[in-house]
Amino acid sequence: MTISRSRPLASAVVFACAVALAAALFAAIPASAQVLYGGLVGTVTDPQGAVLPGVAVTITNVGTGLKLETLTDETGNYVFRNLLPGTFDMTLSLRGFKEMRRMGIVVTVGTPRREDATLEIGAPTETVTVSAEAVALQTETSDITAKLNSQQLIALPLNQYRNYQSLLNLVPGATPVQFQNAEIDTPGRSLRTWVNGVQPNTNTTRVDGAVSINVWLPHHAGYIQPAETIETVNVATNNFDADTGFAAGAAQTVITKSGTNQFRGSAFWFFNRDEFNANSFYNNAFSIAKPARTLDITGGTLGGPILKD
């Protein structure tokens, strides 16, 4: 009886130690890596380089008016996670120091942006305004990614289905994308590719954080968004962060457009005509008529605020 009771106790002790060790390990992981969309991180110091805890940091999305607030911790660091892509203004304030305003900070998907700041000694009523600089280096993550923005998705030539996945041909390490299965199986005409020589079944696609997969055909995305509705596509191909994960080949993150305080829209008409198309070399060699390719795709977009801010 003594032995049988001691075993559960020993197991509980071992389990508790394992939990404590895991908690310590996760606590040691930089918070800046835990980002689903985009992020903003940084360290606030005084003119002598000493870190400043308790600094009030406020960011405001210029397009939507969304305002978020936080305080720097005991090491002078602040973190904003899961930010939708856009342009932000930042305000930093602490008693005994001049207020700092940093304008025009561009946040993108998949890569946290670092914005360190140095506060000047002075009255809080005094303000220092700084324009944010363009980011040249990826300093917060080690993953290898390629980004496709909304302008590229609209301006670059897509296939006859207006499928954004045809631009995966531009991603280093990806083989030319292919149609697979019948149209009745994949009405969105999802494409697949081998990335770094890994099977397409191991690629993942997330849309605004939700996994999009065809259950019966795992090498296909479950839903293909119209190109005009996409803000950005982030394709990670190596050194995945834990929050990206679940992929061996490529982890694709699709972020759709969000409305702002200004109404914006577009109208489009993409058309293809048989008379515009040349026959292929092999069809001509065997006197085969060129296939019919007449196709019209029309539509439009409109976005704006339901209520301002």
The per-residue DSSP string of 258-304 comes to ---SS-EEEEEEEEE-GGGPPPPHHHHHTTPPPPP--EEEEEEEEE-
Beta strands per DSSP E along 6-75: 38-45, 56-61, 67-71
- Domain end, chosen from 216, 242, 258, is at 258
Token output for 123 = 């009255």
Assigned domain for 38 exists:
yes
Assigned domain for 20 exists:
no
- Rounded CA-CA distance 49/288 in Å is 75
pTM above 0.85, yes or no: no
**Which of 166, 293, 303 has its CA nearest to residue 228?**
303
Token output for 282 = 């092999």
3-state SS of 164-178?
HHHHHHHCCCECCCE
Note whether 107 and 56 are same-domain residues: yes
Note whether 269 and 246 are same-domain residues: no
Task: Look up residue 49 and give its DSSP letter.
Answer: S
Walk along the chain (309 residues) and give the pLDDT tens digit of each residue: 333 343 444 444 444 555 454 444 333 334 444 456 788 999 999 999 999 999 999 999 998 999 999 999 999 999 998 888 889 999 999 999 999 999 999 888 877 889 999 999 988 777 888 877 776 567 667 677 788 888 888 888 888 788 999 999 988 888 899 888 887 878 788 898 898 888 888 888 888 888 888 888 888 888 888 888 898 898 888 877 766 667 778 888 898 888 888 898 888 888 888 888 788 888 888 888 887 778 788 888 888 888 888
The per-residue pLDDT for 12 is 46
Note whether 264 and 162 are same-domain residues: no
Note whether 266 and 219 are same-domain residues: no
25 contacts: CB under 8 Å, gap ≥ 6: none
Note whether 87 and 166 are same-domain residues: no
Instruction: Answer whether 34's CB lies under 8 Å from 111's CB.
Output: no
- Rounded CA-CA distance 129/134 in Å is 16
The per-residue pLDDT for 284 is 81
Task: Look up residue 239 and give its DSSP letter.
Answer: S
Note whether 148 and 253 are same-domain residues: yes
Which residue is listed with tokens 């946290």? 112
Assigned domain for 138 exists:
no
Instruction: Answer whether 251's CB lies under 8 Å from 273's CB.
Output: no
**Which of 83, 80, 132, 81 has its CA nearest to residue 108?**
83
Domain CATH for 188 = 2.170.130.10
CB 60: neighbour CB atoms within 10 A?
A: 17
Note whether 103 and 70 are same-domain residues: yes
The per-residue pLDDT for 18 is 52
Assigned domain for 16 exists:
no
243 contacts: CB under 8 Å, gap ≥ 6: 33, 34, 35, 36
Note whether 96 and 55 are same-domain residues: yes
- Domain end, chosen from 100, 131, 162, is at 131
Note whether 253 and 271 are same-domain residues: no
95 contacts: CB under 8 Å, gap ≥ 6: 124
- How many helices (DSSP H) and strands (DSSP E) are in the chain? 3, 18
The per-residue pLDDT for 32 is 43
The per-residue pLDDT for 181 is 82
Note whether 273 and 240 are same-domain residues: no
Domain count, the chain: 3
CB 76: neighbour CB atoms within 10 A?
A: 19
104 φ, ψ to 5°?
70, 40
Assigned domain for 15 exists:
no
Assigned domain for 11 exists:
no
Note whether 219 and 171 are same-domain residues: yes
Assigned domain for 24 exists:
no
Note whether 254 and 265 are same-domain residues: no
DSSP 101-144: EEEEEEE-SSSPEE--EEPPBS-TT-EEEEEPPPP-S--S---E
**Which of 148, 163, 173 has its CA nearest to residue 270?**
163
Structural domain containing residue 124: 31-131
- Domain end, chosen from 231, 258, 285, is at 258
Assigned domain for 23 exists:
no
What percent of the chain is helix, strand and coil (3-state, nearest 5)? 20, 35, 45
